[in-house]
Structure 1
Amino acid sequence: MRFLRMLTNSLLAGALGAAYLTILVLQLNPAVPLLSATPWWWFVTLGLLYGVHFAVAFYVVLMAREFFAMGMLSPGWISVRLLAWLGAVMSAAAAALMWLNLRGFAPAIGEVAAWRMTAGAIATTVSAILLLAIAVAHYSFGRRGSRVGAWLFSIAVVGSMALPIAARGPGSPPRDEPSPWLDPRAAASPSADGPRVTLLLLDGASLEHIWPRAAEGRLPNFSRLLDGGAVIDLATIRPTQPNPVWAAVATGMYPAANGVRSAARYYALRDRRGIDLLPDHCLSHALVTLGFVRDQPLASDAWGATPLWGILSDEGLTSGIVRWPLTHPTEPSAGFMISDRLHQVATSIGEYDRAGFPKAVLRTVQSISMNPAYAGPDAVLASGFTPNGPESSALEHDLLYARVGRALRVERDPRLFALRYTGLDTVGHYYLRYAQPRASRSITEDDRRRLGQLVDRYYAFVDGEIGAALTGMTAGDLLFVVSGFGMQPVNPAKKLFARVLRDPDFSGTHERAPDGFLIAYGNVVQPGRSQRGSIVDVTPTLLYFFGLPVARDMDGFARTDLFTRELTAERPVTFIPSYR
């Protein structure tokens, strides 16, 4: 019977761990009503995965103790002495997770929610200390049946859950916001006069990789930008996913203000209310991988603030936006737009019609995509890639969007042209470890040479695309090359867990939010390396260049230090309350 009693205590500790994780989910998603079914569904979902595994782990530890300890353990069905130790472990782990997630997700949840989460983390930390003190007292004095100890234990456990929930509050559903993309019929008449801006967006590009290769002459166009342009390291955000990162770039606001906090909405078992953020540092993506949680990708209705092209439309400036995340289905704006899901919806008639605005641009898309030379085997082999590999698919998509975008730019000549490339992110995920100066000993020299070159070849492809953008520049024009986030090697623990889940064998990651960068180039740019900024500085800086005021509710700043004194002397920074 004592083994069965060990099991009941292990199950209670596992349930406590699931409760702590549920509280963490609620803290990261302050809009979820506390008095609803959603918290309970998440408790059940987390209990089925984490709670069960916690219970099994604790039971294995207790059984191991039986084999190696001198004394026999015979706990009660609900043992204060045993649960105090297990509760101390779980509450300490919960407190650590709260602090780590608070550090990473503060910009995503907002200032008020971050303050409330801080109070909850403090309460959980204090409770962990109390539980540890109770466990030590019971171990030292052997007071197994003490009512005082039981009461103190109950108060500490209840407080470790009730206080963070009380600090978090009942939940505050977000306000209904009007559609941030404006109807061009209500906007000012488009103006074709003035300098042009080219904005090239790169997923997963790192200056650490670019600098040495540019110095060696292997990336001549990057070298030209670095020598004659302005360079800024950009702090990015967490979760470091394309949707929230590029939404922050487009709005000049952090996720708490622009409404885009992650790549998808996540739904617990049988729950109809989704959440935005899953906890970090606890392998929570396994919930989706194993089917415990359903994810639903976000669409263009997720914006809670006006993106850059909406602001320009309202001010009478045209824009051409190609493959910016969260642009499907496309919405009206002055200029043209190509959805980021064009390559995914090409075979769906209903969705394909919504992949471009105005619909007339889809004729250009069809004329290019029906041309077998746009990104066929010849283009793949010419770039040194193996057909049917992940890098080949990424190249085909990047080439499709690039050629469509350039053709539409010639046709419509927008004031702002933005084009996104995702291939560097793909090759970085798969092949970064082969391109590292100190590759793993398990990698053969042949693999290091053959696969490591794939990363360099893709950077060379992007370098060529930058060269094409430079060719079309005239006096007064501006080129921005922006990387929203960099790429780092995957740590061994994550690689091992990925193999257990049968995930792709990735060697690069950006989940720890490595810096991106901004390179500005043009005769109005002051060359040099400037102080580190943030991804939310991009849109305020572009608004300043266009002569438009910066909104005071934006989190970013206009980086006037990028421009020459001649330009900044005659163009002071102006402000308005908001573009919402």
Structure 2
Amino acid sequence: MFMLILEWMRFLRVLINSLLGGLFFAFLLAVLVADLNINQPAGGGFLAQLTLNLSLVYGLLLAAVCGFGFIFGQFFFGRGARIAIVSPSFLSLSFSLLIVLFLAIFRANERYFSSFFGPEVRARLFTQMILLLALGFLGLLCFFGFRRSRKALFFWAYFVVLIFGLALVLVQRSRFPLLREPSGTTPLLGKKTEKRITLVGLDGLSFDFIIPLISLGKLPNFSWLLDNGNSGKLVSFSPTEPVSLQASFSTGQLPAKHRLLSSYRYRLWKMREELETVPRFILFNQLTRFGFLKIAPVRPEVRSKDFWRILEGNRISFLDRSWPLTREDAAPSSRGEKLAADLLGEPALPGDPLSTLARNAFLRDSAAEESANAERIERQPQVFHLRLGGLNSVQAYFYKYSFPQQFGDIVPEQIERYGLVIERYYEYYDELIGKFLTGLKEDEILVVYSPFGVEPLPLWKRFVERLLGDPDVSAYHELAPDGVAFFYGKGVRKAKHEEPIRIVDITPTLLYFLGLPVGRDMDGIVRSSLFSDDFIAENPIIYISSYEEFQVQPPQ
């Protein structure tokens, strides 16, 4: 009986120390979440709520890991190894190992969300990483150097240093610069222009599909753009959030400046504040399965003065129908239904969700295109922007049927039924481009772009999707594979653009084409090499410090 009580006391001590380790790891994750949400002031209450919420999942999980680690450690340190209610040696080792684990997660997220961080924030993140690395090293040194001497003073000195170091980590986060609202009042006289631009954004376009299909003679209009215009790869950034990419497209700035991070808001259980983004690589979104995380879509507005506000100030008419940010879903037309039947086959059979998905994506695109074109004909804007996302949705599920050799678990019947869906979608987009080429005016350029391409899921992600996500998904764009950009029209150089074009280069380049000033605070640059020598000679680049400092006045 006495031995049983001793074992229970021993278990209780291990449990208490393990829970302290789990709480410590939850605190570290709270710091990471605060770092990613750069628009959120990280006060003590905010961090405390984050820590408590995260401790209910990640804290308990890591506490279990610490406890099992101690049990397995008995084989090395002896079955009779003693542990106090608050064990300095246990905590110094577990804290150090948890810091090492956290730093791996921290570094992966810092690289993935690098577009969120300007130079000042990156410097503070680097300081945080160095501080934590030093704390982890000191903890291991303390454990292996003084464990046998049992001098508790060294351990408690380490915990004092640990608390001081963590305080410095929080100080770095508290000094993240907050977003400054545009306050420019200096008048800037606008400029008249007769030039016109048609922008067509087709999410998911990739040269991996375009070039082979052109070689088979199946995309004549893409082929025309390739041979008679200027084309190249379009480079964006991760995360490929639609709202963030669209803001970078229209402002020429990375998220670190325009601060539009996500089209969703995240709320942890029992938290008042909402989060704009959450960490990756730790299955954070899976918390929705257990009710610990709620996700709601939002439509945040661009705070910076973007391309459309600049056009408005210069009295340049425009029509922006950039799916899915500025358009309500339009009802499918009879023409769209007929096109769907021609391109995708007969109506989807009951119980065939993949065919239904492809059909619905196409009907949304065709309805949006019809609606936008009708409005364009009525309003005759100088700048027209249409963005469609159907291909991107379709590729996520049908990629494996176009490249079955990369997956190995596709049966011939599936290849026969689904293998041409993506190809037919490209043919539909090719027809769409043909319409815009036919209607191109004298002083108008056509820009066809996709902010990202597509790539197959790696093996580890396929396993995760089968286990926790959607087993039908076979492709993604989370790591921002290269998209495409085509420029065609009067003044455009006929060539292949060897150097990749960045998504933040689009707005400065379009402003240059229209003869408008380019802000020096834009992260993008003017890609003047897209234009002919004569156009460049006749149109010098005009710069201003920042559109945020000026109020564009109507041209005289």
TM-score (norm 1): 0.85
Counterpart check, 1:32 vs 2:40: yes
Match of 2:344 among 372, 377, 384: 384
Match of 1:167? 172
SS, match of residue 194 in structure 2:
coil
Matches within 5 A, 1:405-554: 405-436=372-403, 438-503=405-470, 505-530=472-497, 531-554=499-522
Query: Are the aligned partners of 1:131 and 1:156 in contact in 2 as well (CA < 8 Å)?
Result: no
How far apart are the structure 2 equivalents of 1:529 and 1:85? 57
Query: Are the aligned partners of 1:14 and 1:54 in contact in 2 as well (CA < 8 Å)?
Result: yes
The one-letter amino acid paired with 2:273 is: R
Task: Give the Å deviation of 1:374.
Answer: 4.0
Task: Give the Å deviation of 1:546.
Answer: 0.8
More displaced 10-residue stretch of structure 1: 26-35 or 406-415: 26-35
Q: How many aligned residue pairs are there?
A: 531
More displaced 10-residue stretch of structure 1: 466-475 or 402-411: 466-475
Counterpart check, 1:157 vs 2:162: yes
The one-letter amino acid paired with 1:24 is: L
Counterpart check, 1:273 vs 2:273: yes
Match of 2:111? 103
How far apart are the structure 2 equivalents of 1:150 and 1:492? 43
The one-letter amino acid paired with 2:533 is: R
Match of 2:130? 122
Match of 2:334 among 373, 383, 387: 373
Query: Are the aligned partners of 2:34 and 2:47 in contact in 1 as well (CA < 8 Å)?
Result: yes
Match of 2:195? 195
1:337-389 deviation per Cα after TM superposition (whole angstroms, max 9, x unaligned): xx2xx11xxxxxxxxxxxxxxxxxxxxx7xxx4x740433x332211255362
Task: Give the Å deviation of 1:69.
Answer: 8.5
**Any unmatched runs of 5+ in structure 2?**
1-7, 349-354, 549-556
Query: Are the aligned partners of 2:230 and 2:487 in contact in 1 as well (CA < 8 Å)?
Result: yes
**Any unmatched runs of 5+ in structure 1?**
181-185, 328-338, 344-364
Shift in alpha-carbon separation, 1:189–1:96, aligned structure 2, 3 A: closer
How far apart are the structure 1 equivalents of 2:77 and 2:475? 43
Shift in alpha-carbon separation, 1:444–1:504, aligned structure 2, 3 A: closer
Match of 1:234? 234
Task: Give the Å deviation of 1:190.
Answer: 11
Matches within 5 A, 1:263-302: 263-300=263-300, 302=301
Task: Give the Å deviation of 1:321.
Answer: 1.0
Matches within 5 A, 1:352-367: none
How far apart are the structure 1 equivalents of 2:38 and 2:285? 20
How far apart are the structure 2 equivalents of 1:426 and 1:177? 35
Match of 1:348? none
The one-letter amino acid paired with 2:272 is: R
Shift in alpha-carbon separation, 1:326–1:258, aligned structure 2, 3 A: farther
1:86-115 deviation per Cα after TM superposition (whole angstroms, max 9, x unaligned): 222210122222222222323213222222
How far apart are the structure 2 equivalents of 1:482 and 1:298? 25
Shift in alpha-carbon separation, 1:158–1:463, aligned structure 2, 3 A: same
1:172-229 deviation per Cα after TM superposition (whole angstroms, max 9, x unaligned): 543344799xxxxx999997x7232111112222222222222222222212211222
The one-letter amino acid paired with 1:243 is: V
1:557-578 deviation per Cα after TM superposition (whole angstroms, max 9, x unaligned): 1111001111111001001222
Counterpart check, 1:210 vs 2:210: yes
Query: Are the aligned partners of 2:231 and 2:484 in contact in 1 as well (CA < 8 Å)?
Result: yes
Match of 1:93? 101
Match of 1:350? none
Query: Are the aligned partners of 2:203 and 2:389 in contact in 1 as well (CA < 8 Å)?
Result: yes
Q: Considering Cα pairs closer than 8 Å and 6+ residues apart, tell me whether 1 or 2 has the greater RCO.
A: 2
Match of 1:183? none
SS, match of residue 239 in structure 2:
coil
Q: Once the two structures are aligned, what percentage of the paired residues are identical?
A: 31
Counterpart check, 1:316 vs 2:315: yes
The one-letter amino acid paired with 1:255 is: P
Query: Are the aligned partners of 2:236 and 2:245 in contact in 1 as well (CA < 8 Å)?
Result: yes
SS, match of residue 472 in structure 2:
coil
SS, match of residue 279 in structure 2:
coil
The one-letter amino acid paired with 2:20 is: L
How far apart are the structure 2 equivalents of 1:68 and 1:148? 25
Query: Are the aligned partners of 1:234 and 1:484 in contact in 2 as well (CA < 8 Å)?
Result: yes
SS, match of residue 448 in structure 2:
strand
Query: Are the aligned partners of 1:29 and 1:276 in contact in 2 as well (CA < 8 Å)?
Result: yes
Shift in alpha-carbon separation, 1:427–1:27, aligned structure 2, 3 A: same
Task: Give the Å deviation of 1:72.
Answer: 4.9
TM-score (norm 2): 0.88
Shift in alpha-carbon separation, 1:503–1:43, aligned structure 2, 3 A: farther
Query: Are the aligned partners of 2:241 and 2:262 in contact in 1 as well (CA < 8 Å)?
Result: yes
Query: Are the aligned partners of 2:269 and 2:291 in contact in 1 as well (CA < 8 Å)?
Result: no
Task: Give the Å deviation of 1:494.
Answer: 2.7
SS, match of residue 542 in structure 1:
helix
Query: Are the aligned partners of 2:23 and 2:55 in contact in 1 as well (CA < 8 Å)?
Result: yes
SS, match of residue 299 in structure 1:
coil
More displaced 10-residue stretch of structure 1: 515-524 or 502-511: 502-511
Task: Give the Å deviation of 1:73.
Answer: 4.5
Report the aligned-residue RMSD.
2.8
The one-letter amino acid paired with 2:163 is: V
Match of 1:330? none
How far apart are the structure 1 equivalents of 2:234 and 2:512? 18
More displaced 10-residue stretch of structure 1: 116-125 or 447-456: 447-456
Query: Are the aligned partners of 1:434 and 1:443 in contact in 2 as well (CA < 8 Å)?
Result: yes
SS, match of residue 475 in structure 1:
coil
Match of 2:245? 245
More displaced 10-residue stretch of structure 1: 273-282 or 63-72: 63-72
1:318-350 deviation per Cα after TM superposition (whole angstroms, max 9, x unaligned): 1111134543xxxxxxxxxxx2xx11xxxxxxx
1:33-84 deviation per Cα after TM superposition (whole angstroms, max 9, x unaligned): 3335222221122112211222223334444556898645543222233333
SS, match of residue 478 in structure 1:
strand
Query: Are the aligned partners of 1:187 and 1:316 in contact in 2 as well (CA < 8 Å)?
Result: no
How far apart are the structure 1 equivalents of 2:393 and 2:491? 34
Query: Are the aligned partners of 2:36 and 2:278 in contact in 1 as well (CA < 8 Å)?
Result: yes
Shift in alpha-carbon separation, 1:179–1:258, aligned structure 2, 3 A: farther
1:454-489 deviation per Cα after TM superposition (whole angstroms, max 9, x unaligned): 222212221221111111113332111111112222
How far apart are the structure 1 equivalents of 2:101 and 2:376? 53
The one-letter amino acid paired with 1:294 is: K
SS, match of residue 234 in structure 2:
strand
Counterpart check, 1:135 vs 2:143: yes
Matches within 5 A, 1:175-190: 175-177=180-182
Match of 1:84? 92
Query: Are the aligned partners of 1:257 and 1:304 in contact in 2 as well (CA < 8 Å)?
Result: no
Query: Are the aligned partners of 1:35 and 1:170 in contact in 2 as well (CA < 8 Å)?
Result: no
How far apart are the structure 2 equivalents of 1:406 and 1:318? 15
Match of 1:306? 305
Shift in alpha-carbon separation, 1:452–1:39, aligned structure 2, 3 A: farther
Task: Give the Å deviation of 1:305.
Answer: 0.9
How far apart are the structure 1 equivalents of 2:465 and 2:455? 16
Shift in alpha-carbon separation, 1:206–1:289, aligned structure 2, 3 A: farther
Shift in alpha-carbon separation, 1:435–1:64, aligned structure 2, 3 A: farther
